[in-house]
Amino acid sequence: MLQNLQNKTVLVTGGAGFIGSNLCEALLLKKVKTVCLDNFSTGKRDNIEPFLKDENFTLIEGDIRDLDDCNKACKGVDYVLHEAALGSVPRSIKDPITTNAVNVSGFLNMLVAARDAKVMRFVYAASSSTYGDHKALPKVEETIGEPLSPYAITKYVNELYADIFSKAYGLDTIGLRYFNVFGKRQDPDGAYAAVIPLFVKQFIKHESPIINGDGSYSRDFTYIDNVLQMNFLALTTENKEALNTVYNVAYGDRTTLLQLTTILKDQLATFDDKIKDIVIKHRKNREGDIPHSLASIDKAKTLLNYKPEYNITAGIKNAVRWYWENLQ
């Protein structure tokens, strides 16, 4: 699908982050001219170090909260993959002002810069947190609930702004509501580390992971390669009906946290048999967490021909191998 991007330039904001660096890598493997914008607040230089010598790669160190940086990054760009954001529900509850500044003001800056640079398409990272307290499963794009965190509010505002820019200025946009993405380069460190890399790191160190609640909460864990497929389908689709809307990005299956720990143990035990005997600990549920999450991916299948290739077990197998090689 990336053959459509030959002789085009793609800007990846947050390109030194987990998802952003994987997008950059995939684009560069297809020899697509790739610009990375990052301020390294959560992204890592190590993630893009291998790309710096690639003639098709350009790094711009800048902040999406600065409109001049956004304009500089968008200059001469054909497409934008907007991944830059301040993630984490708990972080947004602790510091809603910074979360809003990055995720709302920064997002608006990028839309304005993309509009003024006459970018052909703006594909952005939305979030499954937008479904809020809506309890029905699976989650269908057209039905959402009330937000449960400042982070969720910011990601919903992104969708509203993108819709307005498509209608008012003719900027083609597509929002991708990510469901619990995991894979190589996802940071296992820090106060807001995602559950899979955090648990993997703890298992490797023979520490007991701690589950929030009794472990019955479930998520639609989504391997990074499925996410790459959706981004590139959104970027290159020629189906006009597929534009200016939002899609769930998931596998379409859910796994409880207890099931997740079992899969992680099984896969890690192929490297270290002692991991099978590590005991899981529990604590109270975390404020703002959604009990269950499961995506309908019918819309993406119908309009974008999305065909996710990696279920939870296949994805974990690949991710665990990468972490085992890189966390030792």
Whose CA is closest to 188, among 171, 173, 201? 201
Which residues fall within 8 angstroms of residue 97, CB to CB, at 6 or more apart? none
pLDDT at residue 193, as a whole number: 73
**Exposed, middle or buried: residue 324 (CB in 10 Å: 0-12, 13-18, 19+)?**
middle
For 3-24, the pLDDT digits (tens) are 778 889 999 999 999 999 999 9
CA angle centred on 95, ends 140 and 109, rounded to 5°: 65
Domain 2-182+222-253 has CATH 3.30.465.10: no
**Alpha-carbon span 327 to 176, nearest angstrom:** 30
CA angle centred on 226, ends 223 and 230, rounded to 5°: 140
For 118-135, the pLDDT digits (tens) are 999 999 999 999 998 898
Q: State the pairing for strand pair 218-219/255-256.
A: antiparallel
- Full-model pTM: 0.94
Q: Which percentage of the chain shows pLDDT scores above 90? A: 88
Q: Which percentage of the chain shows pLDDT scores above 70? A: 99
Tokens 């009906």 identify what position? 241
**Alpha-carbon span 324 to 41, nearest angstrom:** 25
Active site (catalytic) residues: 151
Position 328 pLDDT exceeds 70: no
For 98-121, the pLDDT digits (tens) are 999 999 999 999 999 999 999 999
Tokens of 216: 């019955």
pLDDT band of 209, cuts 50, 70, 90: very high
Whose CA is closest to 184, among 225, 147, 241? 225
